[in-house]
Protein backbone atom coordinates (compact mmCIF):
# COMPACT_ATOMS: atom_id res chain seq x y z
CA UNK A 1 0.00 0.00 0.00
CA UNK A 2 1.07 3.55 -0.68
CA UNK A 3 1.88 5.69 2.40
CA UNK A 4 1.35 9.45 2.51
CA UNK A 5 2.35 11.74 5.37
CA UNK A 6 0.43 14.82 6.41
CA UNK A 7 2.71 17.88 5.88
CA UNK A 8 2.97 18.50 9.63
CA UNK A 9 4.52 15.07 10.23
CA UNK A 10 7.83 16.36 8.84
CA UNK A 11 7.84 19.25 11.35
CA UNK A 12 6.82 16.97 14.23
CA UNK A 13 9.51 14.45 13.34
CA UNK A 14 12.20 17.14 13.03
CA UNK A 15 11.36 18.53 16.50
CA UNK A 16 11.45 15.08 18.09
CA UNK A 17 14.75 14.22 16.40
CA UNK A 18 16.30 17.49 17.59
CA UNK A 19 15.18 16.70 21.14
CA UNK A 20 16.75 13.22 21.09
CA UNK A 21 19.90 14.36 19.26
CA UNK A 22 20.50 16.95 21.99
CA UNK A 23 20.45 14.20 24.61
CA UNK A 24 22.51 11.47 23.00
CA UNK A 25 24.66 10.77 19.96
CA UNK A 26 22.54 7.76 19.04
CA UNK A 27 19.05 8.50 20.42
CA UNK A 28 17.91 10.42 17.34
CA UNK A 29 19.06 7.62 15.06
CA UNK A 30 17.29 5.03 17.20
CA UNK A 31 14.10 7.10 17.20
CA UNK A 32 14.18 7.48 13.41
CA UNK A 33 14.73 3.73 13.02
CA UNK A 34 11.72 3.07 15.29
CA UNK A 35 9.66 5.55 13.25
CA UNK A 36 10.60 3.84 9.97
CA UNK A 37 9.89 0.41 11.44
CA UNK A 38 6.41 1.54 12.59
CA UNK A 39 5.65 2.88 9.11
CA UNK A 40 6.71 -0.48 7.62
CA UNK A 41 4.47 -2.37 10.07
CA UNK A 42 1.54 -0.13 9.15
CA UNK A 43 2.22 -0.59 5.45
CA UNK A 44 2.40 -4.39 5.74
CA UNK A 45 -0.70 -4.92 7.92
CA UNK A 46 -2.67 -1.69 8.40
CA UNK A 47 -5.82 -3.33 9.74
CA UNK A 48 -4.07 -5.09 12.63
CA UNK A 49 -3.83 -1.88 14.68
CA UNK A 50 -6.59 -0.91 17.06
CA UNK A 51 -9.11 1.72 16.10
CA UNK A 52 -9.28 5.14 17.70
CA UNK A 53 -12.62 5.84 16.03
CA UNK A 54 -14.48 4.93 12.83
CA UNK A 55 -11.66 5.97 10.52
CA UNK A 56 -8.39 6.24 12.47
CA UNK A 57 -5.98 3.69 13.91
CA UNK A 58 -2.96 3.94 16.20
CA UNK A 59 0.49 2.35 15.95
CA UNK A 60 2.94 2.64 18.86
CA UNK A 61 6.64 3.10 18.18
CA UNK A 62 8.78 0.45 19.82
CA UNK A 63 11.02 1.64 22.69
CA UNK A 64 9.76 5.25 22.52
CA UNK A 65 6.67 6.89 24.06
CA UNK A 66 5.25 7.99 20.70
CA UNK A 67 2.64 6.73 18.30
CA UNK A 68 1.34 7.31 14.79
CA UNK A 69 -2.30 7.95 13.97
CA UNK A 70 -3.36 6.95 10.48
CA UNK A 71 -6.32 6.32 8.19
CA UNK A 72 -6.80 3.82 5.41
CA UNK A 73 -8.27 5.27 2.22
CA UNK A 74 -8.70 2.53 -0.41
CA UNK A 75 -5.12 1.55 -1.29
CA UNK A 76 -3.49 4.48 0.53
CA UNK A 77 -2.43 4.89 4.13
CA UNK A 78 -2.68 8.48 5.34
CA UNK A 79 -0.47 9.12 8.39
CA UNK A 80 -1.78 12.27 10.04
CA UNK A 81 -0.29 12.45 13.53
CA UNK A 82 2.98 11.65 15.29
CA UNK A 83 2.53 12.38 18.98
CA UNK A 84 3.83 11.58 22.44
CA UNK A 85 1.70 9.22 24.52
CA UNK A 86 1.14 11.99 27.08
CA UNK A 87 -0.29 14.45 24.56
CA UNK A 88 -4.01 15.04 24.77
CA UNK A 89 -5.87 12.34 22.79
CA UNK A 90 -7.40 14.97 20.52
CA UNK A 91 -4.00 16.47 19.55
CA UNK A 92 -3.69 16.53 15.77
CA UNK A 93 -7.04 14.93 15.00
CA UNK A 94 -8.31 18.05 13.22
CA UNK A 95 -5.65 17.73 10.56
CA UNK A 96 -7.29 17.37 7.16
CA UNK A 97 -6.09 16.20 3.78
CA UNK A 98 -6.39 18.75 1.03
Residue 76 domain boundaries? 2-84
Residue 16 lies in a domain: yes
Residue 91 has pLDDT above 90, yes or no: no
Q: What are phi and psi of 8, to 5 degrees?
A: -75, -15
**Count of the separate structural domains present in the chain:** 1
Classify residue 90 as exposed, middle or buried by CB count within 10 Å of its CB (0-12, 13-18, 19+): exposed
Greatest mean pLDDT range, 24-28, 35-39, 84-88:
35-39
- Supply the DSSP symbol for 47: G
- Reported pTM: 0.91
CATH number at residue 48: 3.30.2310.20
Amino acid sequence: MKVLFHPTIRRDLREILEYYDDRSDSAGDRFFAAFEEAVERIQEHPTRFHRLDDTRRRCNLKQFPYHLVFEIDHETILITVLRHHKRHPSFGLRRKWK
